[in-house]
Amino acid sequence: MTFLTLPQVGRRIPVAEGQSILLAALEAGVPYPHGCRSGRCGSCKSHLVSGDVEIGKHSPFALTDEEKAEGLVLACRSVPTGDVTVEWLDDAYVAKPSAAQDAEVLSVQAMTHDIVALHLRLADRVAFRFAAGQYLSLTIPGAPSRNYSMANRPDEELIELHVRAVPGGQTSTRIHGELKAGDTVRIEGPTGAAYLREAHPGPIVAIAGGSGLAPVKSIIETALHGGSDVPIHLYFGVRAERDLYLVDHFRDLERRFANLTFVPVLSQDDAAGWRQGFVTDALAADHATLAGAKAYVAGPPIMVDAAWAALSARGVLASDIHADVFFTPQAEAGKET
């Protein structure tokens, strides 16, 4: 039997044949920092203190060759070949999920042709503490649980989630077609390592694709509400004009906060009045350097990969890029946004 030692929580855990460090830790109830579970976001980056692992396929941005040479690994892609000792890198905050609880649906509001905003009142809001950028697991009767990011600030009472109707997605289809005010749902969490690092002194760059705007909204509004006066650049990429939402809301914030710039970008629509192209190209065109910035990225895998490349090329450290990858259920059971 192989064992995994985690000094940060004082645990020694058995690891099954072929099991990753992350999975072994999560199964043992350790709140190991993670995001995508697929080697793309870098949230589970860890220091291999002793022992050896086999590292599986991963994005070169989530773990660079230099980092590998320094003894860093991705816990979600690392299978121990013998006993190992591992420490995760960011010990500032580890989500401590609270017990599952009921929530009342207060409203289901159409934001675009395929995104609704849910507002929920939790049975015990005080027990549900989260950091801006994290997500929860939502269960509605008769459908599998899915992860959705909080779009509200952690200090606000109501929970706001943005749910995109995923073609063939059981849960999102039922949320769009059947869920209504007064219904009861179940939530559990929070989870997610792409949360706002409030102590970081440099600029903030946030890149959202589609309903990836939800965690980014929470991050931006929490930073502004907390009095942050660093430059904050928000890039919002969608396919077409009809996919845009909350534009007036962010334009209004832009007027109220001189340090915020909001840039919506359309990738497949030449509608007049909007920036055209890929959102990451717009970011790259606007900034020759972003050295010292903290970056938060939320959206589909292809956008997250492009963001890593653009941010890295502009001097943002890998340790300063926090990504939340939104998969379709076909790609991976889990986040359906």
Closer to ligand FES by Cβ: residue 76 or 165: 76
In the complex, minimum distance from the CB of residue 118 to ligand FES, in angstroms, rounded to a whole number = 25
- Closer to ligand FES by Cβ: residue 260 or 306: 306
Torsion over CA of 58, 301, 199 and 88, rounded to 10 degrees?
Answer: -30
Q: Which two tokens stand for residue 238?
A: 């969608």
> Which of 4, 21, 24, 42 is in the footprint of ligand FES by CB under 6 A?
42
Q: Which of 4, 6, 25, 41 binds ligand FES (CB under 6 A)?
A: 41
CA dihedral 39, 45, 50, 52 (to 10 degrees): 10
Rule CB under 6 A: say whether 35 interacts with ligand FES.
yes
CA–CA separation, 108 and 118 (whole Å): 5
279 and 303 Cβ atoms separated by less than 8 Å: yes
| CA dihedral over 85, 88, 91, 96, signed as positive or negative | negative
- Which range binds ligand FES by CB under 6 A, 2-10, 37-45, 122-130, 238-246? 37-45
Q: Is residue 146 close enough to count as binding ligand FES by CB under 6 A? A: no
- On the 0-12 / 13-18 / 19+ scale of CB atoms within 10 A, 57 is exposed
Instruction: Tell me how far, at minimum, the Cβ of 193 lies from ligand FES, in Å.
Output: 7
Are 25 and 37 a contacting pair, CB within 8 Å?
A: no
Could you say which of 37, 146, 164, 335 contacts ligand FES (CB under 6 A)? 37
For the bound state, the minimum distance from the C-beta of residue 10 to ligand FES, rounded and expressed in Å, comes to 23
CB of 225 to ligand FES, least distance (A): 28
Q: Does 295 bind ligand FES (CB under 6 A)?
A: no
User: Which residues lie below 8 Å from residue 17, measured CB to CB, with a gap of 6+?
Assistant: none
Binding mask 60-79 for ligand FES (x = CB under 6 A): --x-----------x-x---
- With binding defined as CB under 6 A, does residue 334 bind ligand FES? no
